[in-house]
A and B are shown apart, each in its own frame.
Chain A
Amino acid sequence: KQEVTQIPAALSVPEGENLVLNCSFTDSAIYNLQWFRQDPGKGLTSLLLIQSSQREQTSGRLNASLDKSSGRSTLYIAASQPGDSATYLCAVYQAGTALIFGKGTTLSVSS
């Protein structure tokens, strides 16, 4: 059964720092991997989607990488801002099922 793990569970950084969030999964037979952002009490907003054949995706200050063979993905956030404070969730999609989520990393960026 697919399991998704995110490390660390929480992270606090000062404004301006570059940071990396980690995600690992146990079954490499995935269709794609997505990174989501969730603000307190709100729904999930998709940040980046990486197809299984891709190695990385970029959107603004965000860059996500995927190494399917080792079961790992990273989300790199450049020049962090207080507005980046949120919980970041990683999820993998396998055909015929649903997204399987990690428990998330809660990021706090102080000004």
Chain B
Amino acid sequence: DVKVTQSSRYLVKRTGEKVFLECVQDMDHENMFWYRQDPGLGLRLIYFSYDVKMKEKGDIPEGYSVSREKKERFSLILESASTNQTSMYLCASINRAGGETQYFGPGTRLLVL
């Protein structure tokens, strides 16, 4: 019954490190999303992708990049991790028409020291 998986549940990294967060979905969805969730701020969209090799900036793309080389996989990259990127990161996917529900992964809790 696995639908959206994320590579790590918990991650601890040091300031300046390059961090890769992987997301894989098995529903053949075209659209995939990366959000971060912080207390008091809710879920904020970082990047999304509507097709392989396509990407769009969300509300808070600074300090992040993404990669979508295969339809089922969407990666979030922190080029040089900073302490203000400590957060819960959530990946999601939905079919192109958007008529179905959006499925979320279990989340990755990232701590940058």
Q: Write the A89-103 contact mask toward B (1 if CB under 8 angstroms, else 0).
A: 101010100111111
Residues of A near B90 (CB, < 8 A) are: 43-44
Enumerate chain B residues within 8 angstroms of A44, measured Cβ to Cβ.
Answer: 90, 92, 104
- State the total of A-B contacts with C-beta under 8 angstroms: 53
Q: Number of residues in A with C-beta < 8 Å to the partner?
A: 23
The residues of B that contact A95 with a CB separation of less than 8 Å are 98
Given contacts A34-B102, A93-B102, contact A98 B48 (CB under 8 A): yes
Name the interface residues of A68-105: CB closer than 8 Å to any CB of B: 89, 91, 93, 95, 98-104
Query: B interface vs A, CB < 8 Å?
Result: 31, 33, 40-43, 45, 48, 58, 88, 90, 92, 94, 98-107, 109
What chain B residues lie within 8 Å of A104 (beta carbons)?
Answer: 42
Q: In whole angstroms, what is the CA distance A89 to B27 when docked?
A: 23
Task: Judge whether A12 is part of the interface by a CB distance below 8 angstroms.
Answer: no
Of all chain A residues, the one with the shortest Cβ separation from B91 is: A43
In the complex, what residues of A have CB within 8 A of residue B40's CB? 103
Give 14 pairs: A residue, B residue, CB < 8 Å, sorted on A.
A41-B88, A42-B107, A46-B103, A51-B99, A89-B42, A89-B43, A93-B102, A98-B33, A98-B48, A99-B94, A99-B102, A101-B42, A102-B42, A104-B42
**Which secondary structure dominates chain A's binding surface?**
strand
Which of A31, A43, A98 gathers most chain B CB within 10 Å? A98
Chain B residues with CB under 8 Å of A51's CB are 99
Contact between chains at A49 and B42 (CB < 8 Å): no
CA distance A87 to B105 in the complex (A): 17
Inter-chain CA distance A92–B99, complex, in Å, is 12
Q: Do A103 and B107 touch across chains, with their CB atoms under 8 A apart?
A: no
Q: Is the CB of B33 within 8 A of A99?
A: yes
